[in-house]
């Protein structure tokens, strides 16, 4: 028995290092995601797309611009790639323990889909767990492809789909600019009027839900948009699915284990953040000069910024991996890593916290809080996400929702399964 266990130890240690760095980067990503989500938890859905939709103020515009450059889309892309990497780690861990990886992963993702729908129904329209679960099933079907094939396929789907979408978006922006300049055709004016009408209807519907009581808000979601998570899936699949494949390829290449040469990590970080940041800044300058026109904003947060988002997310990942060995023993780095280990609980928990502050069933602060004050709530959320995981993980192997997720996934299999080393906990 002792000799049989020895060969697994080096692999376990390597997995521990991978998970350690993954947890840290995931912690950064889940902190950054709150910086974007806070606007959607404070105001109507479309307020996240423009500082001119919903209540507007100068400080709020400045905050929107900062978050647009630093966080918007980049943290979501980073989180999605990490999810793809964790899919690979989960399957490898299950195989080593003699468990059926595909069956177990399918159960795990189906439970995540249930959690995502409940997250939407009970609290918030902006759930990402449901699309992650469905896209994860597709990504896992391709996990045995070579890393280069995974990367090529993921990048091809991502770039082609967003490239084609950008052609239509650019046409819409041109129409909007002709209308604003006063020389549009009558049909274009009617088209723009229909867009603005849909925006007005969306604002009214969202505000009714935001200011309703808890049960009333659930009834409104069921009455007005019971299939919104499925709609979100259709809108985001061309981002979520290919970025999971890219994350799987990066995990297989050894990026998250720090196996890339330091010079390559530095170069990737500088190029990704530098080039992606320059493209994002150029787009922001144009939008600000034109006072954030609505159709342009929808495109700017979608197809037009897809490549900058990806470049900056890759740059962030490379630099964080490069920095991790030097900072891993600092108190803040340990707190961020613990927040990443509890990312599922933190993600849901910050929705509950911010909803309790802003929603009608809670303190209903949204009408009293200007957009420019939202950074203060982001800092509050960050403090909450960093405060509790270290204490909790000193006593338990996983965050509370992570542990529940794992128990549901392994329901009926526990008796046949060997004990789980903490270094092989479900990364996800």
> Considering the chain, what is the average pLDDT of its residues?
91
2 found inside a domain: no
Burial of 76 from C-beta contacts in 10 A (0-12 / 13-18 / 19+): buried
- Supply the pLDDT for residue 146: 96
Give the pLDDT confidence of 96-114 residue by residue, as tens digits: 888 899 999 999 999 999 9
Q: Mean of the pLDDT values across residues 176-180?
A: 93
Give the least confident one: 267-271, 385-389, 423-427: 423-427
Give the least confident one: 9-18, 138-147, 185-194, 364-373: 9-18
Percent of the chain topping pLDDT 90? 86
255 found inside a domain: yes
Q: Which domain holds residue 281?
A: 16-424
- Supply the pLDDT for residue 363: 97
Q: Mean of the pLDDT values across residues 13-22?
A: 64
- Supply the pLDDT for residue 18: 56
User: How many structural domains are present in the chain?
Assistant: 1
- Supply the pLDDT for residue 416: 46
Q: Is the pLDDT of residue 12 over 60?
A: no
Q: Mean of the pLDDT values across residues 1-20?
A: 46
254 found inside a domain: yes
Q: Mean of the pLDDT values across residues 339-344?
A: 97
Q: How does residue 20 score in pLDDT terms, banded at 50, 70 and 90?
A: confident
């Amino acid at each position: 028995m002792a000799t049989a266990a020895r060969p697994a130890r080096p692999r376990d240690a390597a997995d521990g290092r991978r998970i350690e760095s993954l947890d840290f980067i995931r912690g950064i990503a889940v902190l950054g995601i709150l910086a974007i989500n806070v606007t959607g938890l404070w105001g109507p859905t479309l307020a996240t797309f423009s500082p001119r939709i919903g209540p507007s103020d100068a400080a709020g515009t400045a905050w929107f611009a900062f978050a647009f450059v630093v966080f918007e889309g980049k943290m979501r892309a980073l989180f999605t790639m990490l999810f793809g990497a964790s899919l690979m780690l989960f399957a490898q861990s299950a195989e080593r323990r003699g468990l059926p990886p595909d069956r177990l992963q399918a159960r795990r993702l189906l439970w995540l889909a249930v959690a995502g729908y409940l997250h939407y129904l009970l609290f918030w329209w902006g759930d990402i767990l449901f699309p992650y679960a469905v896209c994860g099933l597709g990504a896992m079907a391709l996990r045995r492809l070579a890393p280069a094939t995974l990367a090529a396929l993921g990048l091809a789907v991502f770039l082609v789909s967003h490239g084609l979408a950008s052609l239509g978006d650019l046409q819409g922006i041109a129409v909007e600019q002709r209308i604003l300049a006063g020389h549009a055709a009558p049909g274009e004016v009617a088209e723009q009027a229909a867009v603005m009408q849909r925006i007005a209807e969306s604002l009214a519907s969202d505000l009714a839900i935001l200011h309703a009581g808890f049960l009333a808000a659930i009834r409104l979601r069921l009455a007005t948009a019971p299939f919104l998570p499925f709609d979100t899936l259709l809108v985001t699949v061309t981002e979520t699915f290919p970025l999971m494949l890219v994350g799987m390829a990066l995990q297989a290449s050894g990026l998250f284990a720090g196996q890339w040469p330091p010079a390559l990590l530095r170069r990737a970080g500088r190029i990704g953040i530098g080039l992606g940041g320059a493209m994002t800044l150029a787009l922001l300058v144009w939008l600000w000069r034109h006072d954030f026109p609505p159709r342009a904003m929808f495109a700017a947060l979608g197809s037009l910024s897809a490549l900058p988002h990806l470049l900056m997310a890759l740059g962030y990942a490379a630099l964080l991996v490069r920095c991790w060995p030097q900072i891993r023993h600092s108190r803040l780095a340990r707190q961020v890593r613990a927040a990443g280990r509890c990312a599922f609980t933190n993600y849901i928990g910050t929705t509950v916290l911010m909803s309790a502050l802003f929603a009608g069933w809670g303190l209903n602060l949204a009408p009293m809080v200007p957009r420019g004050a939202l950074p203060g709530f982001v800092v509050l959320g960050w403090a909450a996400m960093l405060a509790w995981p270290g204490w909790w993980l000193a006593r338990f192997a996983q965050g509370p929702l992570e542990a529940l997720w794992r128990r549901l996934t392994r329901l009926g299999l526990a008796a046949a399964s060997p004990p789980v080393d903490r270094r092989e906990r479900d990364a996800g």
